[in-house]
Chain A
Amino acid sequence: DIQLTQSPSFLSASVGDRVTITCRASQDITSYLAWFQQKPGKAPKVLIFGASALQSGVPSRFSGSGSGTEFTLTISSLQPEDFATYYCQQLNGYPRTFGQGTKLEIK
C-alpha cells in the first residue's frame, strides 16, 4: 500500500496567518493527490485534486502544489471557518489511502 505521512499532525494558528501542511508519499504518485477538509460531524469536503487544481466553489486562498512524493496544501490567509482537520489522499493506486490528518486549531 502507498503510505501518506502528513506533517504536522497538529497546527495552531491565528486568523490571517499563512499555513502550510505537507503530505509525503511512500512512492511516486505523480500528481494523483487530493486534499480534503473535514469539520466535526461532517463528511470530508474536497479542496484540491490533481495535486494543484482547485475544486469548484473552494476559495482561492487554498492552494496545492507538488508532484512525485512531496505535496503541500497552503492556506494563504486563515479565516475562522478554516479551522478543521485536513487530509491528503492518493488516487494513484489501490487501495486508495489517506494521510493521518492535520488538525488546525485556533491559537
Chain B
Amino acid sequence: QVQLQESGPGLVRPSQTLSLTCTVSGDSISSGGYYWSWIRQHPGKGLEWLGYIYNGRTAFSNPSLRSRLLISGDASKNQFSLRLTSVTAADTAIYFCAREGYSDSAPYYRVLDSWGQGIVVTVSS
C-alpha cells in the first residue's frame, strides 16, 4: 500500500520561495508508469493540477505556473519536491502530493489513486 506524506513550512513570506517535499513509502518514484504529482486547493475552492515527475527525473509543469514552478525528485530518498518562486497571497492553499498511475483492473485508464493528506501553506508577511 503506497503512502505519501507532504512536509514543509506552513508559512512563507511574499516574494519568497515555497519548497515542499513529498515522501513516498510502499513504492518507488523511479518505477515506470507512475506520475508523481502535485495538486493544490485554494481555501474553499476547487482543485488545481500543478505538475508531475516521472521516472524520478522527468518533470512536467502546468503552463500557468511554469515560469515559477520546479518539480524535482530524489530517488535516493524516494522523495519528490515542489519549488514555487516569487509567491504571493494567491499561492495560499492546501498542497497535495499524489500518484497517478494505471488502474489495477480493466479498463486500464490513468487515475490519481493515492494522495497525501495535504499541507496547508499560507503566504503572508
| Residues 16-56 of A at the B interface (beta carbon under 8 Å) | 31-32, 34, 36, 42-46, 49-50, 53, 55-56
Chain A interface secondary structure, helix, strand, loop or mixed? Answer: loop
Contact B110 A91 (CB under 8 A): yes
Contact B109 A99 (CB under 8 A): no
Whole-angstrom distance between the Cβ of A79 and the nearest chain B Cβ: 22
Q: Which residues of B contact A43 (CB under 8 A)?
A: 96, 98, 115-118
A96 to B60, CA, bound (A): 11
A65 to B51, CA, bound (A): 27
Contact with A along B95-125 (1 / 0, CB 8 A): 0101010011111011111011110000000
Whole-angstrom distance between the Cβ of A23 and the nearest chain B Cβ: 12
A80 to B10, CA, bound (A): 33
Q: Which residues of A contact B105 (CB under 8 A)?
A: 53, 56
**Residues on B facing A (Cβ under 8 Å):** 37, 46-49, 51, 60, 62-64, 96, 98, 100, 103-107, 109-113, 115-118
Whole-angstrom distance between the Cβ of B7 and the nearest chain A Cβ: 15
User: Given contacts A43-B117, A49-B103, is CB(A34)–CB(B112) below 8 Å?
Assistant: yes
Contact B49 A44 (CB under 8 A): no
* Additional pairs, 19, CB under 8 Å, beyond known A34-B111, A43-B96: A31-B107, A43-B116, A45-B115, A49-B103, A50-B111, A53-B106, A53-B107, A55-B103, A56-B105, A87-B46, A87-B47, A89-B47, A91-B109, A95-B63, A98-B46, A98-B48, A98-B49, A100-B46, A101-B47
The 7 closest A-B pairs by CB, nearest first: A50-B109, A43-B115, A49-B111, A96-B49, A98-B47, A95-B62, A91-B110
